[in-house]
Chains A and B, each alone.
Chain A
């Protein structure tokens, strides 16, 4: 059987998320050197169209795991069919965007195969048949070239925005297949799941399509809100480097005081200033 790289495609509101295409782009980038074919899987209820889209956008095969029980994400609802699929395909790599969902479920699947996850990578290359991922440990102070010396299946996630997806084809012509979820309601242990808007002004920048950032150079809060806020509103973007009483740095991707604001930034190669230039409007030094 041909070798595969399996992409687990996330979706929201009936649409594939950008991260799904980015993970697919990474799979396609690695596939030739590994002599593997990119295969995508999408789980949910009524996900056939999304599977077709993945087959058109560059997956040689797109697998829909369609079940009403998967309409709402639960870790068991995803883990059980994913583990079965991974056992069937024995992929060289299982790739996902480094989303909250991936972090909630992918290590569960990996643990079933006695494998860790090369998480939050910002890129990968193949050298002598071995995939070398770049990660940014120590709060992105360093780049670590990281490998998994274990046997397939191996697992990795890729940071949002790290691999551009705009080079994906539009009419690839991959095949579409399906698998049964094989999950029963009593196997789903996370019960009474309900999703709500969180209270307070919190936003996660990792899922923002556009991030507008500004700093002290703008002078005062009004100018910041006028220019950065106005631009963010005009382009439908999220504002980074906003602070109330705390100080935190966008460059390091985290708050230095966790108490007063829940606004967080995530490191992303496209949005993250690599220097120490991005600071909050009223911050002292980091």
Chain B
């Protein structure tokens, strides 16, 4: 089975992010980058499905990202992806989730995988919708927050996380798009052998033309969504001590919870 895994390179979670002078993005110099967390779980899931199969499977990593994203590609190959597609053309970049989904849909039509795995949500823009938009554009079933995947007989059994400590079990026919939740499996460490093997693997670069995409539908020009400006959040938290006897303090706390916090 052929599995396409969409990954995104995002700033390291611990990176100190600085706004650019225009207040519309972050300063990218001095930022360390990594594969988005839930995307690593998607890749791990794909590798496990392949390893459980008959050996004919293939895991293809794809990313939309500038030159720097090559490092994320290398990490994915070192983890065990068989080959990769790097969509580095400037016309692909800075797109909103829909324009990214259009690019991924074109890659899916070209590659014809049976399964597409993505992370649920990027740690940078955080829209958390690209996988489901992709399913919509392809007309494939899609599942958000996948916590379990079992492939058998052209179908996939999926566990979807629900609110309030519940899960949904279901079965869908392939092909399908699954958005994988962080924590589904333990993600493997990259071995030295993996890193060495990655150097021999193929990384294809495709242009919009090769994917049959017009510039008006992708990247910055294809985006409907626009961030007018970015700003640090206004901090509103404050700490207050309620003095007095425990009984009185408790009554005062309950009153505050009811009147001010409006949680009771």
Contacts and interface: CB of A to CB of B under 8 A. Distances in A.
A189 B172 contact: yes
A191 B165 contact: no
Nearest to A116: B98
A78 B124 CA distance: 29
A139 interface: yes
Q: Name the residue among B19, B41, B129, B183 with the largest chain A CB count within 10 angstroms.
A: B129
A89 interface: no
Contact of A192 (B132, B164, B170, B262): B170
Given A120-B127, A258-B37, A108 B170 contact: no
Given A107-B136, A193-B169, A204-B165, A138 B98 contact: no
A117 interface: yes
Contacts of A132: 228
A84 B129 CA distance: 21
Contacts of B236: 274
Q: Name the residue among B141, B225, B233, B264 with the largest chain A CB count within 10 angstroms.
A: B225
B257 A117 contact: no
A263 to B, nearest CB: 10
Interface in A92-140: 99-100, 103-112, 114-120, 132, 135-140
Contacts of B204: none
Given A104-B144, A115-B98, A207-B164, A142 B230 contact: yes
Given A108-B135, A138-B11, A189-B141, A100 B227 contact: no
Contacts of A274: 233-237
A222 interface: no
Given A108-B136, A210-B263, A275 B167 contact: no
B82 interface: no
Contacts of A210: 263-264
Nearest to B140: A189
Q: Name the residue among B143, B182, B233, B261 with the largest chain A CB count within 10 angstroms.
A: B233
A104 B132 CA distance: 7
B12 to A, nearest CB: 11
Given A103-B144, A190-B172, A195-B166, A259 B186 contact: yes
Given A115-B98, A116-B96, A116-B225, A107 B165 contact: no
Nearest to B131: A107
Given A107-B136, A144-B230, A196-B169, A138 B186 contact: no
Contact of B166 (A197, A237, A259): A197
B183 A259 contact: yes
B136 A110 contact: yes
A146 B226 contact: yes
Contacts of B252: none
Nearest to B127: A119
A277 interface: yes
A275 B235 contact: yes
Interface in B166-197: 166-173, 182-183, 186
A74 to B, nearest CB: 8
Nearest to B158: A190
A137 B125 contact: yes
B25 to A, nearest CB: 10
A259 B17 CA distance: 26
Interface string A219-259: 00000000000000001010000000000000000011011
B239 to A, nearest CB: 8
A195 B129 contact: no
B58 interface: no
Interface string B122-149: 0111111100110111000111110100
A60 interface: no
B166 A193 contact: no
Contacts of A164: 262
Nearest to A197: B166
Contacts of B101: 111
B55 interface: no
Interface of B: 11, 13-14, 17, 19, 26, 37, 41, 96-98, 101, 123-129, 132-133, 135-137, 141-145, 147, 160-173, 182-183, 186, 223-237, 239, 257, 261-264
21 contacts: A75-B141, A75-B142, A105-B132, A107-B135, A108-B132, A111-B136, A119-B127, A120-B128, A137-B227, A141-B17, A146-B226, A146-B228, A193-B169, A195-B167, A198-B162, A204-B162, A204-B163, A209-B263, A258-B41, A259-B183, A274-B233
Given A189-B141, A198-B161, 12 more contacts: A76-B141, A109-B136, A111-B98, A111-B135, A116-B129, A135-B126, A145-B227, A146-B226, A190-B143, A235-B257, A274-B237, A286-B14
Smallest CB-CB A-B distances: 7 pairs: A111-B136, A150-B224, A107-B132, A116-B98, A207-B163, A104-B144, A107-B129
